[in-house]
Amino acid sequence: MTVKPSIAAETGRGARNARDGIIRLRRLGLQAYEPVWRAMQTFTAARDETTCDELWLVEHPPVFTLGRNAKPEHLLAPGEIPVVNVDRGGQVTYHGPGQIVLYPLLDLNRLGIGVRELVRRMEQAVIDLLAEHGIAAEGREEAPGVYVDGAKIAALGLRVRRGRSYHGLALNVDLYLAPFSHINPCGHPGMAVTRTRDLGIDTGTAALGDALARHLLRLLGYNAALSAEDHLPHVEIQSA
């Protein structure tokens, strides 16, 4: 797998943060949602204080996901798109091809940050990425995510178990937006959504995904990430 030097250090040399930790980056391509979710659960349950943190970059086929406390009335008309009830926080959202999904599997105790600070840094990674392209964006205390002129461009949802995070962040790049009209996005009726393509950014998901990972690495205090095999650990699944 080709790894850009701006993101990955040479394999074997390590990537150090303020706590001398190592993080791995996996680019998984297009993968069904549920096997990736189960792999995150398995990875998190099996890890210990010596386990390296990981970032997973992935795209999913069309799927609606509902968080633990999601209200069913926010799922308006799913039609033929599958619906999966998951263990993250938050309400209902949509994933589809053309959307970057970044899953940070982190030991928050080792990093010395809490959940709210992780959310803030994830939002800031998107804000900084868009700023590189001349787009002003912001987060909202009352509705986690990132917004451009009032329209949501990135959604967040996390689960933390024993101080270790999974689930994560979805950034709309050039995905088909119509399915968002079949839900109240993140539980907000009538919320507008947008994508980088409509903001004049013609960079594709692979390059934007790498850039997003780079920004989050920086905000977490990592200098770089080791290249990892582009498959899911502990789960037999064919990569794209």
Catalytic residue at 52? no
Q: Can you tell me whether residue 227 is helix, strand or coil?
A: strand
Residue of 67, 23, 76, 34 whose CA lies nearest to 183: 76
Give Cβ neighbours of residue 160 (< 8 Å, ≥ 6 apart): 108, 115
Residue of 32, 34, 52, 31 whose CA lies nearest to 43: 52
Handedness of CA 110, 114, 118, 121 (dihedral sign): negative
**DSSP string for 94-126:** EE-TTEEEEEEE-BHHHHT--HHHHHHHHHHHH
CA distance 166 to 176: 26
CA distance 28 to 185: 25
For the sheet with 63-66, list strands across it: 83-85, 63-66, 92-95
Catalytic residue among 39, 148, 186, 193: 186
Catalytic residues: 186
